[in-house]
Structure 1
Amino acid sequence: MIQEIVRIFEKASRNFLQEQSTFILSGVSERSLCGELMKYLAREISETNFSKYHVDVEHNRNEGGKLKTIKNGKEIVIPITCDIIVHSRGENIKQDNLIAIEMKKSTNNKVEKDKDRERLIALTKDSFDNLWSYDGKTFPQHVCRYQLGVYYEINFIARHVVIEYYMKGELQKNYIVGF
């Protein structure tokens, strides 16, 4: 499953970078860039076994309209809003969360970039405190179990994107793609 999810993301990213390079280089906001990448992800997802999943920008609600929260590395509960997520909106309790993407421009400061990375580590963990009682009816208290976390940093000057993959609470791969 994870290989297919990575393939979906990589195809969407490749098409976004190829087709939207002028838009990307125009200096638009991070939010606008996320909206465009979301469209490419939605198109790729629609043609797969994950077609019932939704791609949302800055989604911050969980089952029943509760704020999405995570526990950070210091076990502090914090509300979260990801730049882009692919999830079932609570319709698939077995695997609600597929992809969490945090996008940054390379000009952002290191503290903000590291906060996004910390968020992706927390989101891709299988559980918090190694406890998650999966009964097929109840979601965990804090958001977790994203199959893939993606840190996506756009460098306009160098015309490339730094991409980092997080899985199971750890950085698994990083690489650079030109556009």
Structure 2
Amino acid sequence: MAAELDLLLTIFGETLDEFFTYETQEVLDGVNERNNCGRMAVYMQRVADAYGLKGYFADTEYNRKQNGRIKTILDRKAKVVTINCDLILHSRGQNTAQDNLIAIEVKKREARDEDKENDRERLRALTKTTYDDVWSYDGVILPEHVCGYILGVYIELNRQHRVCLIEYYRSGEKYEERNLIF
């Protein structure tokens, strides 16, 4: 099933709404981002199921690909880099036509700029469909390196000002940015 971007944006939006409805105090208290992502995964799974995305899973820190191998991407220099993403919505390799739907990276405002940029670079790589035409994700055979996420989202939580920066990525590029007050 090829999921449409609009559907994924709706699922992400409703996930974030539920997250901030129930978890704002934890964000304000400075709870670790892994906990934030774990809670967000609970809401994302519920919302995805409600929209009929059966066979897809909201997983945190998931680092496996086909045959149980470690997930990798190619960085801008075509160097193989092992990865795990904070939160993903995917079929765990079971739907070769469209395995990867949403990749989310979460950072606190006070995190190091280098770490923030690494997350953004990871989202660029995860949302690419090809690497310099050397290989591509054809929807039949899963690629050697993880790619093909329809939607990438970078979230930066500023608890002091109760603002959430959201950057959206697709096809290897950031295409939109907005702020959400929580």
Under TM normalisation by the shorter chain, which class is it? over 0.9
- 1:89 paired to 2:64: no
Secondary structure at 1:58's aligned position in 2? strand
The answer to whether the 8 A contact 2:130-2:137 is kept is no
Structure 2 unaligned spans of 5+: none
2:160 matched residue in structure 1: 157
Alignment gaps of 5+ in structure 1: none
TM-score, with length taken from structure 2: 0.95
Distance 1:61 1:133 in 2: 17
Give deviations 1:49-97, integer Å, cap 9, x for gaps: 3122001000000011011100011111100110001000011001000
Residue 18 of structure 1 deviates from its aligned partner by 2.1
* Equivalent residue runs for 1:140-151 within 5 Å: 140-151=143-154
Structure 2 match to 1:18: 21
Q: Which amino acid aligns with 2:80?
A: V
| Cα deviation 1:95-140 (Å, max 9, x = unaligned) | 000000000000001110000000000000012222226372x211
Query: Matched residue of 2:176: which SS?
Result: strand
Determine which of 119, 131, 138 is the counterpart of 1:134: 138
TM-score normalised over the length of structure 1? 0.96
Pair 1:44 & 2:40 matched: no
Residue 109 (structure 2) pairs with residue 109 (structure 1): no
Distance in 1 (alpha carbons) for counterparts of 2:93 and 2:37: 22
Partners of 2:108 and 2:157 within 8 A in 1: yes
**1:83 aligned counterpart, secondary structure:** strand
AA at the equivalent of 1:132: S
Aligned-residue identity in percent: 40
